[in-house]
Structure 1
């Protein structure tokens, strides 16, 4: 996708970011992330360009060490790229102060992690309301109740996370991620700790959020069956995107991953 140039007077020495493209929830341009310096530097991301429209479900896959976690951290403002531009909901976040980034993450982003990350001392309802509380917003208990009803846990509001199954805890995490109607929900291996049946329930909730609430979901996963729920699957290899697949089946996605892993392994062997 080509971006129009929008020249503005720069106020610092950072390179000027490209203009935002309307209708995009996530936009990365020339994103690189290096760890270390000199010959020992590790290039976790080696020039990523990505544009994801609002209201879409995107899965990101890749072999171990391909840069999936670094991609998610840079895209979500949890880590700063060494070069390039990141926009979320049209807002340039690359040069934001840490305080501004924290505020943006609390108010405009949702997160679902493999380990659930619920606070054990809070009730289910309080966990769902936590993003509103941290963002300094009014804690809307009716909104929390509506989200819990959507994930099938309307009767669990007063329970503690430790009283719930793993699948129920992840459903609480999904409700928490959606309660502020965020620009983007970032999901990091959200089904990695769940059995197949429970994983299907959680993925169905994310799919439903996209289809009925207009949510935007970006999910990193190693599981082809999970990725098959997405509108589009993107494959990372050696810090860059190596193609994609629209509405692929688990078998098609698995075959593509096997091919990509074999190619990556062959390249690593040749470089050794």
Structure 2
């Protein structure tokens, strides 16, 4: 049984035709400001982004550049102060909170540095949790298939505490894949892993994109992790300040060093390239 399934339209979901066909993530003029007046902080300063389905994108930037805020706004975990966000063609910016929560459960996958598995549940139950929360039938065959894809055959009845860190992150990836999400957001997914285990986990994300047609957006500080992506986008002061396509870890590290040192080269041209990546 394959993982590909049709899905029902979410409450308050606008027709997919309103988004650009073939795009998994669209941000248009997204700004996020915290506070008011002289003490206001502009975490995102007008982000435009268009990412096609079936791509792997890494987002990097110096501390305080807006990476976490970008991920939270793009994934519907935080609401922008201005601009719009579309996921899988659906405008999510104006959704009511209950509809937004249901959309996240059904159409977005998450992989976090800390795994975020429930220790009292079995591996199988953790994988099926998004289906349970979305009110969908918890098909054990889907869990078995997802676990097989990440190399965890025979681990369904184990508890997370019985697994290594790398195995727990594999469970998190299986959980992220089981709902056939429009996009998987990964927040420092290898931050708690050793180099060898990190490479295995990144290989699974790469495989999900290349073989399963998944869309992955990963925030990371590690150039070696970012090198697994199709493209790396760099944030600086809440705006995109450049990109590297199919870059090596060394090329990505050099670009990051330049940003950290405050050397910005042609940000407007780079931002235009980022906004038009779907073309």
TM-score by structure 2 length?
Answer: 0.88
Secondary structure in structure 2 of the residue aligned to 1:28: strand
Deviation at 1:104, TM superposition (A): 0.2
Kept after mapping to 1: 8 A contact 2:59/2:218: yes
- Provide the rounded CA distance (Å) in 2 between the counterparts of 1:127 and 1:183: 20
- Provide the rounded CA distance (Å) in 2 between the counterparts of 1:229 and 1:140: 32
Kept after mapping to 2: 8 A contact 1:58/1:230: yes
Residue 7 of structure 1 is matched in structure 2 by none
- Provide the rounded CA distance (Å) in 2 between the counterparts of 1:89 and 1:158: 34
Residue 242 of structure 1 is matched in structure 2 by 241
- Provide the rounded CA distance (Å) in 1 between the counterparts of 2:18 and 2:221: 33
Deviation at 1:243, TM superposition (A): 1.0
Residue 122 of structure 1 is matched in structure 2 by 121
Secondary structure in structure 2 of the residue aligned to 1:100: helix
Are residue 259 (structure 1) and residue 258 (structure 2) matched?
yes
- Provide the rounded CA distance (Å) in 1 between the counterparts of 2:122 and 2:263: 45
Kept after mapping to 2: 8 A contact 1:237/1:264: no
Secondary structure in structure 2 of the residue aligned to 1:215: coil
Secondary structure in structure 2 of the residue aligned to 1:263: coil
> Superposed, which structure 2 residues align to 1:1-272 within 5 Å?
19-263=18-262
Secondary structure in structure 2 of the residue aligned to 1:45: strand
Kept after mapping to 1: 8 A contact 2:144/2:153: yes
Give ranges in structure 1 of 5+ residues lacking alignment.
1-17, 266-272
Secondary structure in structure 1 of the residue aligned to 2:111: strand
Kept after mapping to 1: 8 A contact 2:18/2:90: no
Deviation at 1:174, TM superposition (A): 0.3
Deviation at 1:203, TM superposition (A): 0.2
Deviation at 1:20, TM superposition (A): 1.6
Kept after mapping to 2: 8 A contact 1:107/1:131: yes
Task: Render the CA deviation track for 1:30-50: whole Å, top value 9, x for unaligned.
Answer: 000000000100000000000
Query: What is the number of residues matched between the two proteins?
Result: 248
Secondary structure in structure 1 of the residue aligned to 2:204: helix
